[in-house]
Structure 1
Amino acid sequence: MNESVLSFKDKYFGDKNFYKMTLTIAIPIIIQNLLTNLVSMADNIMVGQLGTNQMSGVAIINQLFFVFNLLVFGGMSGAGLFSAQYFGQKNHNGVRDVFRMKILIGITIIAISLSVMIFLHEPLINMFLHEGSSSGNIQETFNYAKNYLYIMVIGIAPFVISNCYNTTLKESGQTVVPMKAGVLAVVFDIVLNYIFIFGKLGFPAMGVVGAAIATVISRFVECGYLVIYTHIHSNDYPFIKHCYRTLKVPGSLVKKIIVTGAPLMLNEFLWAGGLTLQTQALSTKGLATVGGLNICNTIGNISNCIFVTMGTTIAIVVGQLLGAGKLKEAKVTATRMAAFSLLISFGMIIILGLLGPVFPHFYNTTDEIRKLATKFIWAVAAATPFISLSNSEYFILRSGGKTIITFLFDSCFVCLVNVPVAICLTKFTAIHIVGIFFLVNMLEGVKALIGFIMVKKDIWLNTIVD
């Protein structure tokens, strides 16, 4: 397949088989991610019915767990680059060794995360609590946040283990089983949230503590399903056979994963940390901003999960093609998938635009927070095409093992551009918080342009496994 002689239509648009292949992989992941985000939305709305302080307290802890989630994602993804390419070679021993490495990475992440959440949570929570608006009580918000955190830390271990199994199955081309596990977790989470938060079926009303308990139980359910199903069907997933006889991983592979994967893990951690610092800078405009951003992020995450899923699909398909040595086909496929993701983004602009004035009214909060949330949602809608492109570019670069470049492209941009811009605009200008939020989001366009240039240079077209 010679990419240079393809027409515009053939370069950016595939045939029916292409879209069938893409959607076969993407739809189960989209369903799983959408359900996960819909659960978060349901949790958020139910907690939002309790009041502004409860909503803001939970939002702060979720921001901290956002960093943890991305650290897990980075750790699994760094090793997963090798899983996808080993699977492309039908090398099940290689996939098994990578899975073992994921377990070791997961144990390390669990230990670090528990230490930070338990011993440093008070200063971390206080970072987001500032005067400057008529909505909310800082002390009450702090107490709700702390109580929510004490329960949520119990779910750290099953979440990490689930990701070890979840990601390896996806990298092996199996996306339906993780989707089923996600659906099961969703059902448990929504039902238990309703029971525990509001006190139904004889249970006491536990508020934010009940929301945390429901989330933790749902994580154990998802983890249990993935582990049991995978081991029962070991003939379908050869990598799991005898995987726990030892956790020893060949030194050469450990070195490769560390060299290639460490920048990716660091990238996810710094990217999430950068976005958290960005949110913290915006929060200095008052507690109402925290509430407005929480509502905006809840609906915005539904949109973003579509583009992350398309990126994950790119990583799976392109990674397997690179592992099989089909470099030209990988390049054409990556271009078409990125174009497909961009087309989807235009539909998301319309959806977010329509939901902007409606969604905030699902929350029992003040008009000040609702108005801010509506304008924040519209700002995210305006940046959606750029978010789509930058996600696609990130996963294309990552699929070829160019993790140092993705580190510079992704987290360095957030930390060295987004965060300083947010801090300067909040501290040294009189621009309203909505204008600041819009300008910070539109920086995604600059990032997308940089990513486009790097992808066009074909620096990512290589095979990283023997």
Structure 2
Amino acid sequence: MNFSNYTKEFRYNLKLAYPVILGMVGHTMVGLIDDIMVGKIGTTELAAVSLGNSFLFIAMSLGIGFSTAITPLVAEADGEGNKDRVKAAFKHGLFLCTVLALGLFTSVLIAKPLMYHMKQPDAVVELAMPYLNIVAASLIPLIIFQAFKQFSDGLSQTKYAMWATLIANGINVLLNYLLIYGKLGFPKLGITGAAIGTLVSRIIMVLFIWWLLRSKEKFRMYVTNLNMLSIQKSVIKKIVNLGFPSSMQMLFEVAIFTAAIWLSGVLGQNAQAANQIALKLSSLTFMVGMGLSVAAMIRVGNQKGMKNFVELRRIAFSVFALTLFIEIIFAGIFIAGYKVFPDLFVNYNNEADLLNTYDVVKTAGVLILIAAFFQISDGVQVVVLGALRGLQDVMMPMLFTFIAYWVVGFPISYYLGLHTEYKSAGIWLGLLAGLTVSAILLFLRFNYLTKKLIAQKESN
């Protein structure tokens, strides 16, 4: 095997992926800064944000996962040179994402009283309630934004969503500073201020990307004159058939991390705060894998449209190799910094909360060490999943992710976390097991499918 056949694709893979990575890292950094700002208030407030976001993450995963159906359809139509199919995929995807966003927002509001029955600390629940009321509304602009993002990604134009995200994130950080701490005459709203910042920035994000795409001649024909009264059932069915399993795939993964938040809450607010620190750091590096996953989805979708399956397999493996290399570096960074990173999230000057602070830092350090080991599994599984979406293969990956996270991962997290001395570390060992099984099963699936497609073409 000549490794240069894969490494020569690294530059173009990164060219496609880096705008997505920067946009997602920027978005995650805002969440990270949110947590750092909130953590300076106290560990209870940090745990409340964690609990409130856990409800949001589930709804968000369904919306974002569903929207990914737009990218392979657009990429395939673009590979065929069929502009009408490109516009149809975007219009119907935007319609479905808008309907889904409204439904998910309503569902979060209906589900939020469940907090009172989840054995979470009372003080944490009382703070999380008003936070969730506001931040849930941000689901609507976020999922509508995803329709625009996935469309432009499908045309290999990943930079526009990046600019929209980075600008919105800058506004979010500014609003957080003003509203969390009450600076420059603004009211001091604590974590409610963080929720308002999130909502406003996401509204700006969707308005900006719409304006940006509309102002570009290449995109204007696709994003204007959208007759939403003329909806074709066949296109809706195709998007739903791809989008529903994709949303389930993302739900299964996000839900196990959400379950980790809830299990940590059963252990206490310190365990929950420590879990939030490790989760935020892991989410930051995961965005790199997500960006490379989009690159894999686009490139595989293009090659599928051209029916060049040998090239499709080579290109996909080049993205896998690049991901593996990057994730090994991240693992090393986590191992080197596991004692230092938690200090960013806590306030050692709050003497009344000092014992809790030391407990949070110690626990978070252990979780970061475990997270170092699942960097590789997490990165590989999400990139292979992106390649499978590019092939429009979604049903078997949905089954594999369910098995990995809920047949293997969650039982381990539950048992080790609540019934052994491992506690928080046990919860994260379950996450590691689930991610590893997912990576193995998805890779085997991609390897099987691409060999089958190549053999079928050669036999014809």
Residue 346 in structure 1 maps to residue 328 in structure 2: yes
Match for residue 272 of structure 1? 254
Query: Which of residues 122, 132, 136 in structure 2 aligns to 1:139?
Result: 122
Shift of 1:245: 2.3
Structure 1 residue 218: Cα displacement: 0.8
Task: Determine the structure 2 residue equivalent to 1:249.
Answer: 231
Give the aligned residue type for 1:453. L
Could you tell me which residue of structure 2 aligns to residue 134 of structure 1? none
What residue is the counterpart of 2:63 in the other structure?
72
Give the secondary structure class of the aligned counterpart of 1:120. helix
Aligned to 2:369: 378
Q: In the aligned structure 1, how far is the partner of 2:229 from the partner of 2:81?
A: 21
Sort the Cα spacing of 1:388 and 1:235 in 2 relative to 1 into closer, same or farther, 3 A: closer
TM-aligned CA deviation for residue 354 of structure 1: 2.7
| Matched-pair contact (CA < 8 Å) for 1:394–1:410 | no
| 1:14 aligned residue | 7
Distance 2:289 2:214 in 1: 31
Aligned ranges 1:121-200 → 2 under 5 Å:
121-124=112-115, 126-127=117-118, 129=120, 138-200=121-183
- Is 1:429–2:411 an aligned residue pair? no
* Correspondence list, 1:289-300, <5 A: 289-300=271-282
Greater helix share, structure number = 2
Deviation at residue 51 of structure 1 after TM alignment? 0.5
Q: Which residue of 2 aligns with 1:389?
A: 380
Partner of 1:113: 104
Instruction: Give 2:43's aligned residue.
Output: 52
Which stretch of structure 1 is more off in the superposition, 208-217 or 418-427? 418-427
Distance in structure 2 (CA, Å) of the matches to 1:196 and 1:340: 41
**Residue by residue, what CA displacement relative to the aligned partner does 1:203-236 show, whole Å, maximum 9, x if unpaired?**
1211111111111111111111011121222444
Aligned to 2:270: 288
SS at structure 1 position matched to 2:114: helix
* Gap change, CA 1:19 and 1:247, over 3 Å in 2: farther
Distance 1:301 1:81 in 2: 24
- Using the aligned pairs only, state the percent identity: 21
CA contact (8 A) 1:322 1:461 kept: no
Deviations 1:57-86 (A, max 9, x none): 011111111112211111111233211211
1:126 Cα deviation after fit:
4.4
1:89 to 80, 83, 97: 80
Tell me the alpha carbon deviations over residues 417-450 of structure 1, each in whole angstroms, 9 at most, x when there is no partner: 2112222223443434324423541442233222
Equivalent pair of 1:400/1:460 in contact (CA under 8 Å): no
Aligned 1:19-30 pairs, distance under 5 A = 19-30=10-21
CA displacement at 1:459 relative to structure 2 = 5.1
What is the number of residues matched between the two proteins? 445
Q: 5+ residue gaps in structure 1?
A: 1-6, 130-137
User: AA paired with 1:341?
Assistant: T
Query: Matched residues in 2 for 1:389 and 1:128: separation?
Result: 35
Normalising to structure 2: TM-score of the pair? 0.91
In structure 2, what is the Cα distance between the partners aligned to 1:378 and 1:53?
24
User: 371-380 or 159-168: which moved more?
Assistant: 159-168
Q: Which amino acid aligns with 1:176?
A: K
The match for 2:90 is 99
Aligned to 2:298: 316
Letter in structure 1 aligned against 2:71: G
Cα pair distance change 1:294/1:219, threshold 3 Å:
same
Helix, strand or coil for the counterpart of 2:449?
A: coil
User: Does the CA-based 8 Å contact 2:130-2:192 persist in structure 1?
Assistant: yes
Q: Which residue does the alignment assign to 1:333?
A: 315
> 99-108 vs 64-73, which deviates more?
99-108
Contact 1:81 / 1:319 at 8 angstroms: preserved in 2? Answer: yes
C-alpha contact (below 8 Å) 1:397/1:460 kept by paired residues: no
> Comparing 176-185 with 432-441, which one deviates more in the overlay?
432-441
Q: Is the 8 A contact 2:320 2:380 kept in 1?
A: yes
Matched to 1:354, the amino acid is: A
Whether the 8 Å contact between 1:70 and 1:269 is mirrored in structure 2 is: yes
Q: Aligned partners of 1:260 and 1:413: how far apart in 2?
A: 20
Amino acid at match of 1:261: G
2:93 partner letter: K
Cα 1:427–1:31 change in 2 (3 A) is closer
For 1:433 and 1:332, locate their aligned partners in 2 and report how far apart those are by CA, in whole Å: 40
